[in-house]
Amino acid sequence: MARHKQKGWNSRLLAAALGVTVLAAGASMWTAQAEQVGGRPKASDSAPDTRVAKVAVDIAHASDRGPQGVNITIDDGPDPAWTPQVLQLLKDNGVKATFCMVGTQAQAYPDLVKEVVAGGHRLCNHTVSHDTAMDTKPEAYQSQQILDAERMITKASGGVRPEYYRAPGGAFTPYSRQLAASRGMRPLGWNVDTKDFERPGADTMVATVKREIADGPTILFHDAGGDRSQTLDALREVLPWLREQGYVFGFPVR
């Protein structure tokens, strides 16, 4: 999976998360639950969380609706300007989606997180600060990014846990996948990258979906990080077109 070129957005997120990251690296509630075994942090086994369902560690792409299922996934929010518009558009089309949220964004806009949940959509952990170089960082850092984001999103939602984990830019590692799965978050990939972050034009995004949807069901859009008006325009055309082609909307498998 290609990495997104989002340096400006990443810089803003990293700056916003600096205080969280500094504190979390040494004293995070979740990180404090990790044990050092041979120098490798792992989720504590001493107090199993009965709310955590077992999920596979491999990266999910398939839909829970079978061969005709498609998964709409929305990354990087929530955002006060764009997430409400995306939610309204999904509601108008009778579509449920998976929202991959950045921890600092969820913490800043808890009412939007709750609105996503109330709409019947699912939550996905997209780390604390959207660091696309996570796969080059120490395991302790990966742990902090994943577990602190889980805590932020769960708190913002009012107790609803993220069901998936999507590494920023696809920067998964075997360790991060295992850690996420141990917390009940299925690693989540994508098949169709609309590249809406680059704002190529709604027509180009729609053409990408139509051309690539046969390759797999999980489609990537964004609801934060800049002007998402092209994303909205593309969704207005893509969602009814997919239904006309006989597709049904679902969630990624867990």
**What are the Cα distances from residue 95, in Å, to 71, 125, 131, 132?**
10, 20, 29, 29
Of 4, 121, 130, 222, catalytic = 222
75 is known as an active-site residue: yes
222 is known as an active-site residue: yes
Of 4, 75, 121, 196, catalytic = 75
Q: Which active-site residues does the annotation give?
A: 75, 222
